[in-house]
């Protein structure tokens, strides 16, 4: 019986081997038909190693941090190359320990695959371009600007040449290629300022471009002592009472008196110089039959203030006197 079993197993071995190979091929074909081999391009961040103290790697494109990312090509079955684990399995780095100062360098790219069972690293750049700069410290003056629409009111102006900042400078740490292009600016509001005023203002660093994250400075808040000059003048002018309408029939206005008779007005020098009187709002005399007192506001030009905003107006009304009869001359005898 044993010899019969041996003949069954060993007989026609060539045919059986071919059958086994065909079966394996069919199995592989079925598997790959559902999950075929594939390639994929993967973005992997580049880690910087060994950079000497005081140097910094600048971004290679707007919005990047340092070198940024490098594109690696991987191969494997489709489900693997599309897996979220691919990025974590790959790493890329550059060694900058031999860099001595600012400049642009072509350096070897080191890439490793932490999970060969997942994917195969197919291709990657041999070198990458790196821009290195030196971090420097500098004191920059703080410039003051007034926010849009926040200048002093009419008759007053901001004197920038007499405005001071405490402290007058901020200490900035930034890449040497941009530190001289930076501008430290403090913005203030003077919308209601009629005299010199001190304000706390936040400093903003302009012209940083894409290197904002590489720039630091202190202090970030300064005190601005804004100088304000007055362009106003004042003078006394008479009050002119404006009237309309007529008293009732049989009555007449015999006098109009305002208290005060004059007021002191203050405002832009050009406006004040041109003023000869200040009008009241209109006093309506229509239908008056007796002396009447009114409290009437003054009509002030824009930007002008007055020592009094209203005046007391007394309108003296009396009956129209009947004409005195003229005696008729008597005849001479």
| % of the chain with per-residue pLDDT over 90 | 65
Residues in Cβ contact with 243 at an 8 Å cutoff, skipping those fewer than 6 apart:
256, 282, 283, 284, 285, 315
Out of 292-296, 306-310, 319-323, least confident range: 319-323
- Percentage of the chain lying above the pLDDT 70 cut: 85
The two structure tokens encoding residue 45: 């961040």
Answer yes or no: is pLDDT of 210 > 50.
yes
C-beta of residue 143 within 8 angstroms of C-beta of residue 168: no
Q: Is the pLDDT of residue 319 over 50?
A: yes
Is residue 27 pLDDT above 50, yes or no?
no
Element (H, E) at 42: strand 37-49
Q: What's residue 64's pLDDT?
A: 66
Nearest to 186 by CA among 169, 173, 172: 169
Which CATH superfamily groups domain 233-319?
Answer: YbbR-like domain (2.170.120.40)
**Residue 174, pLDDT score:** 96
DSSP for residue 29? H
pLDDT for residue 156: 84
Please state the domain extents for the chain: 32-125, 135-230, 233-319
Query: What are 215-264's pLDDT values in tens digits?
Result: 999 999 999 999 999 888 889 999 999 999 999 999 999 999 999 999 99
- 33-37 mean pLDDT: 75
Give domain 32-125's CATH architecture.
Answer: Beta Complex (2.170)
Q: What phi and psi values does residue 275 have, to the nearest 5 degrees?
A: -80, 135
How would residue 329 be classed by pLDDT, with cut points 50, 70 and 90?
low
Reported as half-sphere exposure (CB side, CA atoms, 13 A), residue 182 has a value of 30
Topology of the domain covering 135-230: RNA Polymerase Alpha Subunit; Chain A, domain 2 (2.170.120)
Rounded to whole angstroms, the Cα distance separating 180 from 215 reads: 12
pLDDT above 50: residue 5: no
Q: What is the mean pLDDT of residues 188-195?
A: 92
Q: For residues 110 and 90, what is the distance between their CA atoms, to the nearest angstrom?
A: 11
Q: How confident is the model at residue 31 (pLDDT cuts 50, 70, 90)?
A: very low
Helix (H, G, I), strand (E, B) or coil at 8: helix
The reply to whether 135-230 and 233-319 are identical in fold is yes
């Amino acid at each position: 019986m044993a010899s019969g079993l041996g003949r069954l197993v060993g007989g026609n071995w060539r045919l059986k081997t071919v059958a086994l190979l065909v079966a394996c091929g069919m199995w592989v074909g079925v598997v790959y038909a559902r999950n075929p081999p594939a390639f994929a391009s993967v973005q992997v961040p580049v880690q910087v190693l060994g950079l000497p103290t005081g140097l910094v790697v600048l971004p290679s494109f707007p919005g990047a941090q340092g070198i940024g990312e490098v594109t690696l090509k991987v191969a494997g079955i489709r489900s693997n190359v599309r897996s979220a684990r691919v990025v974590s399995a790959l790493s890329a780095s550059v060694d900058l320990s031999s860099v001595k100062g600012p400049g642009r360098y072509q350096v070897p790219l080191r890439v490793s695959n932490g999970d060969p069972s997942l994917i195969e690293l197919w291709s990657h750049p041999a070198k990458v371009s790196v821009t290195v700069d030196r971090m420097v410290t500098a004191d920059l003056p703080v410039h003051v600007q007034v926010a849009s629409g926040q200048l002093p009111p009419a008759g007053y102006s901001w004197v920038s040449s007499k405005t001071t900042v405490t402290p007058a400078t901020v200490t900035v740490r930034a890449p040497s290629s941009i530190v001289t292009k930076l501008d430290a600016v403090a913005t203030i509001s003077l919308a209601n300022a009629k005299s010199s005023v001190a304000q706390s203002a936040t400093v903003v660093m302009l012209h940083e471009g894409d290197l904002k994250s590489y720039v630091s400075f202190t202090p970030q808040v300064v005190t601005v002592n804004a100088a304000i000059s007055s362009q106003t003048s004042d003078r006394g002018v008479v009050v002119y009472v404006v009237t309309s309408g007529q008293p009732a029939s049989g009555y007449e206005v015999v006098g109009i008196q305002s208290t005060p008779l004059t007021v002191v007005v203050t405002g832009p020098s050009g406006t004040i110089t041109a003023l000869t009187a200040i009008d009241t709002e209109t006093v309506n005399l229509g239908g008056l039959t007796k002396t009447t007192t009114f409290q009437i506001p003054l009509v002030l030009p824009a930007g002008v203030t007055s020592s009094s905003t209203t005046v007391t107006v007394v309108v003296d009304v009396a009956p129209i006197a009947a004409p005195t009869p003229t005696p008729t001359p008597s005849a001479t005898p």
